C-alpha cells in the first residue's frame, strides 16, 4: 500500500527517531581496530533493547536466497551495499565504512491476542575511519548533499522521476563521479522494500508515478569515485563497484506531507 494510515505514520516517526539515534551511536564506534561484527552486535542489541527487530537479519529477496546473516549491511571501501559483518574484517585508518540499517518497530507486542504489525524504517551513513584524503572527503560530502537534494525534490504533485533527475543533475555538477544505476531507493513502511523504485538518475518511465501525501520513501544516493557499474561478491550478498573504486552511501526515510516531506530518520547530530 503506497499511502500509509495516519496512525502508522505516527508510529513510523517514533521508529525513525529511534533508528536515527542508534545509527549515530554506531557511527561513533567506527574506529581503527573495531571489527564490523562488533558494530553489528551493538546494532542488534540497541534495536532489541528499543523493542524492535532487525529488518535485514534473515531477509531473503526470494525463496532460493540464503538469508542475510547480519543486523546491519556492513560495506567497506569499494563495497556498495549488503556487506556481511564479520569478526575478521577490522576497520583501519583510511577506510570508509557504510552502515545501512533497518528496523521493524514495535515488535513482539500483541493487541487483543493478535500480533501487532510493526512498521519499517531504513537509513544509512558512510563513516570515515581516521584520516582520509580530500578526494574521498569530497565523495562523501557530495553523496550526503545528493541525499539532501533528493529530499528537497520530494514535492506532492511532482513525479518520482524528478527525484532522480535532481540527484543526477547535482552529482554531475560536482565533478566526475559514478552514479550507481542498478541499486535504487524504494518505498518503505509496511515492508522493507515497497514500490516505487527511486533511482538516483532520471528515468522517464517514472514520470507516471506521482508523489502523494502519505507515501513513505527511502532515498539513498550511492556514488562512486569511478565507474557506476557493479558486481556481486563471492559471498552472494555483497555488492561491489566493478572497478573497485570507493563508494559512499547515505539514506533517510521520509514521509510525504502536503507541502513536501518530513525526514523521520534524522540523527540527533543533524538536528543541532
Q: Own/partner pairs for 37-43, CB < 8 Å, 24+ apart? A: 37/85, 37/86, 37/87, 37/89, 38/87, 39/72, 39/74, 39/85, 39/99, 40/70, 40/71, 40/72, 40/74, 40/85, 41/71, 43/71, 43/72, 43/99, 43/101
Asked if residue 204 has pLDDT above 90, the reply is yes
CB-based contact 222:150 (threshold 8 Å): no
pLDDT of residue 109: 65
pLDDT of residue 115: 56
Pick the CATH number of 6-266 from 3.90.230.10, 3.60.15.10, 3.40.1030.10, 1.10.579.10: 3.90.230.10
pLDDT of residue 64: 77
pLDDT of residue 117: 79
Q: What is the pLDDT of residues 124-142, one digit of tens each?
A: 999 999 999 999 999 999 9
> If you average pLDDT over every residue of the chain, what do you get?
95
Neighbours of 212 (CB within 10 A): 11
Nearest Cα to 94, choosing from 165, 2, 32? 32
pTM of the model: 0.95
**Distance from C-alpha of 253 to C-alpha of 121, rounded to nearest angstrom:** 6
Neighbours of 65 (CB within 10 A): 11
- pLDDT-based confidence at residue 2 (cuts at 50, 70, 90): confident
Asked if residue 62 has pLDDT above 90, the reply is no
Amino acid at each position: 500500500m503506497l499511502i500509509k494510515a495516519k496512525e502508522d505514520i505516527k508510529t513510523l516517526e517514533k521508529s525513525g527517531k529511534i533508528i536515527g539515534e542508534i545509527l549515530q551511536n554506531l557511527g561513533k564506534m567506527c574506529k581503527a581496530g573495531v571489527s564490523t561484527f562488533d558494530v553489528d552486535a551493538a546494532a542488534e542489541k540497541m534495536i532489541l533493547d528499543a523493542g524492535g527487530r532487525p529488518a535485514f537479519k534473515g531477509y531473503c529477496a526470494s525463496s532460493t536466497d540464503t538469508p542475510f546473516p547480519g543486523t546491519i549491511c556492513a560495506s567497506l571501501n569499494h563495497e556498495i551495499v549488503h556487506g556481511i559483518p564479520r569478526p575478521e574484517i577490522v576497520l583501519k585508518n583510511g577506510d570508509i565504512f557504510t552502515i545501512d540499517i533497518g528496523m521493524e518497530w514495535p515488535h513482539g507486542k500483541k493487541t487483543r491476542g493478535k500480533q501487532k504489525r510493526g512498521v519499517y524504517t531504513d537509513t544509512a551513513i558512510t563513516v570515515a575511519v581516521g584520516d582520509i584524503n580530500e578526494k574521498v572527503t569530497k565523495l562523501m560530502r557530495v553523496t550526503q548533499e545528493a541525499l539532501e537534494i533528493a529530499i528537497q525534490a520530494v514535492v506532492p504533485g511532482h513525479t518520482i522521476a524528478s527525484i532522480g533527475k535532481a540527484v543526477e543533475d547535482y552529482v554531475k555538477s560536482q565533478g566526475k563521479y559514478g552514479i550507481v544505476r542498478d541499486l535504487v531507493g524504494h518505498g518503505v513502511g509496511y515492508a522493507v522494500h515497497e514500490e516505487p523504485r527511486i533511482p538516483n538518475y532520471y528515468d522517464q518511465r517514472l514520470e507516471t508515478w506521482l508523489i502523494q501525501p502519505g507515501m513513505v520513501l527511502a532515498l539513498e544516493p550511492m556514488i562512486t569515485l569511478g565507474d557506476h557499474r557493479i558486481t556481486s561478491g563471492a559471498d552472494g550478498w555483497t555488492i561491489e563497484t566493478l572497478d573497485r573504486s570507493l563508494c559512499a552511501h547515505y539514506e533517510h526515510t521520509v514521509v510525504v506531507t502536503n507541502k513536501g516531506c518530513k525526514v523521520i530518520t534524522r540523527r540527533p547530530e543533524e538536528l543541532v
